[in-house]
Amino acid sequence: MKYFKFFTYISLIFLFTSCIKQQQDLITINGNTMGTYFIVNIVNPPLNITKDRLKKEIEDVLINVNQKMSNWDKQSEISLLNSRKSLAPIKISDDLTSLINAANKIHRESKGFLDITLDPLIDLWGFGYNNKIKKIPSDRNIQKTLKFVNQEKLLKLDVKNKLITKLNVEVSMNLSSIAKGYGIDMIGKKLEAIGIKNFLIDIGGDILTKGLNSKNDEWIIGIENPDLKEKLIKEIVNISNKSIATSGDYKNYYIEKGIQYSHILNPKSGKPIKHSTKSVTIIHNTAMEADGWATAFLAMGSQKGLKLAEEKNIAALFIDKINNKLIKIKTTKFKNLKKVKIE
């Protein structure tokens, strides 16, 4: 009887410690943020860091990012900045300075196809945060609104002193094309600061990977098929210490008189994109850059985008719909990535 109790006791200890080890090897934290989901997978965190602490650290970062960059929060820093009708320099936070500075760089390098001053146009077409009825605006209203679009000409950023100046009081910024990526990067920095080396952060399909997965290998990432009626995954890649973001026109749109109008707007014409590119996936060093470039290249389309992506040595996958067939167009850097075959 004693032997039975002894071995039962030892077995329970083994089972208990195995469960602890299994839980400690991979911790998953999820929730909702920025109008979408977030999932953070953490592999082999230090034993002294609990899941509750990790959850709080992640949620604190997300709260901070939303308080500064959410256009849906009327009291956020960006919303208050948009509502301020002044031509005087305005003091802004470190986070907002960093984000706008990065957006300016992509704006210049993409020849204006990423533009955070698109906000009034986004609202005009009914895709904004004011929940307007979606309807096609007149050409006159589009041209009138385009006067308030072009961040290079209408915003002046003083990075050193953390000041931003509107050069027209009606200028309004929308950070949805880049803020999600920034939030992912901030979570990554927080995790690294507390000693986490292996993790994957996913906010609404935009991803940052660090280190290795639970199988001690590079992270395996699936790229969504723009035709949601077909196979869910169109391509699978292995990445580590990189970010991946996809921008597509196949989820947020409306149809009027048989014509589909995408939420992705061309900053030059002020109208939804009409080219054949349905989605663009970018792999970059940061989630913010991947996020911003994916939007810029989708607005641009593969015809112009492929050439620029090659010039910038960016790993990009364009998926175009031609004659009702999806065609994958890859840059050289993307072709050289380690791939996983799809059966």
Partner residues linked to 28 by β-bridges: 41
| 3-class secondary-structure state, position 334 | helix
Partner residues linked to 265 by β-bridges: 272
312 and 245 share one domain = yes
Q: Which of 147, 166, 185 is the last residue of a domain?
A: 166
Q: Which of 166, 190, 210 is the last residue of a domain?
A: 166
Domain-embedded: residue 307: yes
227 and 295 share one domain = yes
- Do 316 and 334 form a contact (C-beta atoms < 8 A)? yes
The whole model's pTM is what? 0.89
Query: What residue numbers bound the domain in which 310 lies?
Result: 218-340
CA distance 63 to 70: 10
251 and 318 share one domain = yes
Domain-embedded: residue 5: no
237 and 315 share one domain = yes
- pLDDT at res. 130: 77
- Do 204 and 247 form a contact (C-beta atoms < 8 A)? no
Domain-embedded: residue 22: no
The tally of CA atoms less than 13 A away on the side-chain side of residue 271 is 12
- pLDDT at res. 10: 32
Pairing status of strand 253-256 against strand 243-248: unpaired
Domain-embedded: residue 76: no
Contacts of 260 (CB under 8 A, 6+ apart): 253, 254
Domain-embedded: residue 133: yes
C-alpha to C-alpha distances, 319 to 204, 225, 242, 256, 328, nearest whole angstrom: 19, 9, 21, 24, 5
119 and 228 share one domain = no
328 and 229 share one domain = yes
- pLDDT at res. 231: 63
Partner residues linked to 261 by β-bridges: 254
332 and 222 share one domain = yes
Domain-embedded: residue 329: yes
Q: What's the domain count of the chain?
A: 2
- pLDDT at res. 340: 66
CATH number for the domain spanning 124: value is 1.10.3980.10
Burial category of 49 from C-beta neighbours within 10 Å (exposed 0-12, middle 13-18, buried 19 and up): middle
CA distance 126 to 93: 29
Compute mean pLDDT per 10 residues along the chain, 343 residues long, and list them: 32 34 73 93 93 96 96 95 96 98 98 97 90 84 97 98 97 95 98 97 96 93 78 83 93 83 94 95 97 98 97 97 92 87 57
Domain-embedded: residue 330: yes
Domain-embedded: residue 316: yes
- pLDDT at res. 259: 85
Q: Which of 151, 166, 181 is the last residue of a domain?
A: 166
